[in-house]
């Protein structure tokens, strides 16, 4: 049970570039708390100096987050309020903070969101891609093989796909996107809310060509947004359903002849054609 006299952890969004995006509420909270847990205290100190405040700070990043839980919980237990910030944007969104929030919530501590800037939302709001459904996949793996495997696993998703990427991997990632997604539309948001904010629109190959012409377009932090896959045709969906049915029956030990009979009775079509399909799947070379 939570302690009525315990302090609160405020999860505070900070600007991703333009300092004017810090809300008055966030500025007030940062000035009122006893402690600010920051991903990089040097980075956050610049923001706090801009605000004319200097609360006590403590580093909290991916390498020490688990070990900070007890320390911060002790501060909350004696009634102190703590603010959690990342270097830019909303904490926990591809930034540290999940472990801390999970553990403190499990202990009944009060967790208070102070919303504000988020690169993911800012990019989607101006991209012109569907936003009724989207899949945010954070940063893709750094190694090429793992990155391509992740992209291939997402290739058939029909919602807008969103990734973060760093400048030193953006070209390699676009090259993998070109192979996996072909001519599908991409929107690349760069340096959001900063002086050189840019949105590039086109296929992955076209965006690579743009960077080859203007290397400055490969600088900064990126949000990559990819149009969802086109809906499958009814025929394609039927083929997948048929394969799934036959594969499931064969896996359960149903014979090829019997599986073909069930498929023909359930889905229609000639039993002979289903027999050939089931036999091909059993032999491991169905198509």
Q: Which neighbouring-strand residues pair with 190?
A: 198, 222
Residues 274 and 287: their CA atoms lie apart, in Å, by: 13
Q: Which neighbouring-strand residues pair with 164?
A: 139, 223
- Per-residue confidence (pLDDT) for residue 237, from 0 to 100: 58
- Per-residue confidence (pLDDT) for residue 248, from 0 to 100: 87
Pairing type for strands 110-114 and 82-85 reads unpaired
- Going by the DSSP 8-state scheme, the letter that residue 172 receives in this structure is H
Which two three-digit tokens encode residue 137?
């996949």
Domain 120-226 in CATH 2.40.70.10? The answer is no
Which two three-digit tokens encode residue 225?
């947004």
| The residue to which tokens 């703590």 are assigned | 82
Fold match between 8-117 and 120-226? no
Fold of 8-117: Cobalt-precorrin-4 Transmethylase; domain 1 (3.40.1010)
Residues 170 and 176: their CA atoms lie apart, in Å, by: 10
CA angle at 285 for the pair 284 and 287, rounded to the nearest 5° = 130
Beta-carbon contacts of residue 40 (< 8 Å; ≥ 6 apart): 59, 61, 87
- Reading the chain (287 residues) residue by residue, the pLDDT tens digits are 457 789 999 999 999 999 999 999 999 999 999 999 999 999 999 999 999 999 999 999 999 999 999 999 999 999 999 999 999 999 999 999 999 999 999 999 999 999 999 999 999 999 999 999 999 999 999 999 999 999 999 999 999 999 999 999 999 999 999 999 999 999 999 999 999 999 999 999 999 999 999 999 999 999 999 999 987 654 555 676 778 888 888 888 899 999 888 887 777 777 778 888 888 888 875 44
The DSSP result for 104-144, as a single string, is HHHTT-EEEEE----HHHHHHHHH-S--SSEEEEEEPPSSH
Residues 242 and 257: their CA atoms lie apart, in Å, by: 15
Residues 156 and 231: their CA atoms lie apart, in Å, by: 9
Question: For residues 188 and 171, is the Cβ–Cβ distance under 8 A?
Answer: no
For the chain, give every domain's residue range. 8-117, 120-226, 234-283
- Per-residue confidence (pLDDT) for residue 1, from 0 to 100: 45
Q: How many CA atoms lie within 13 A of 185 on its CB side?
A: 13
Residues 100 and 68: their CA atoms lie apart, in Å, by: 8
Which two three-digit tokens encode residue 190?
């760069």
Number of H helices, E strands in the chain: 11, 10
- Per-residue confidence (pLDDT) for residue 209, from 0 to 100: 97
Residues 226 and 120: their CA atoms lie apart, in Å, by: 13
CB atoms within 10 A of CB 65: 19
The alpha carbon dihedral of 161, 162, 165, 167 has a sign of positive
């Amino acid at each position: 049970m939570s302690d009525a006299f315990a302090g609160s952890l405020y999860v505070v969004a900070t600007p991703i570039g333009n300092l004017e995006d810090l809300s008055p509420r966030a500025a007030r909270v940062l000035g009122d708390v006893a402690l600010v847990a920051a991903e990089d205290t040097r980075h956050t100190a610049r923001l706090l100096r801009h605000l004319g405040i200097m609360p006590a700070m403590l580093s909290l990043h991916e390498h020490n987050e688990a070990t900070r839980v007890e320390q911060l919980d002790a501060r909350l237990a004696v009634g102190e309020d703590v603010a959690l910030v990342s270097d830019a944007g909303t904490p926990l969104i591809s930034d540290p903070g999940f472990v801390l929030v999970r553990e403190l919530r499990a202990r009944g501590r009060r967790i208070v969101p102070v919303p504000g800037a988020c690169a993911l939302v800012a990019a989607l709001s101006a991209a012109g891609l569907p936003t009724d459904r989207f899949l945010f996949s954070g940063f893709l793996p750094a190694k090429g093989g793992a990155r391509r495997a992740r992209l291939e696993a997402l290739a058939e998703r029909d919602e807008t796909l969103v990734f973060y990427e760093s400048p030193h991997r953006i070209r390699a990632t676009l090259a993998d996107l070109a192979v996996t997604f072909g001519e599908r539309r991409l929107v690349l948001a760069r340096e959001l809310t900063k002086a050189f904010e840019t949105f590039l629109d086109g296929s992955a190959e076209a965006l690579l060509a743009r960077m080859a012409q203007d290397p400055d377009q490969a600088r900064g932090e990126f949000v990559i947004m990819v149009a969802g896959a086109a809906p499958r045709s009814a025929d394609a969906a039927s083929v997948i359903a048929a394969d799934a049915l036959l594969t499931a029956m064969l896996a359960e030990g149903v014979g090829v002849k019997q599986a073909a009979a069930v498929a023909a009775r359930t889905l229609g079509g000639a039993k002979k054609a289903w027999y050939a399909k089931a036999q091909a799947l059993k032999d491991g070379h169905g198509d």
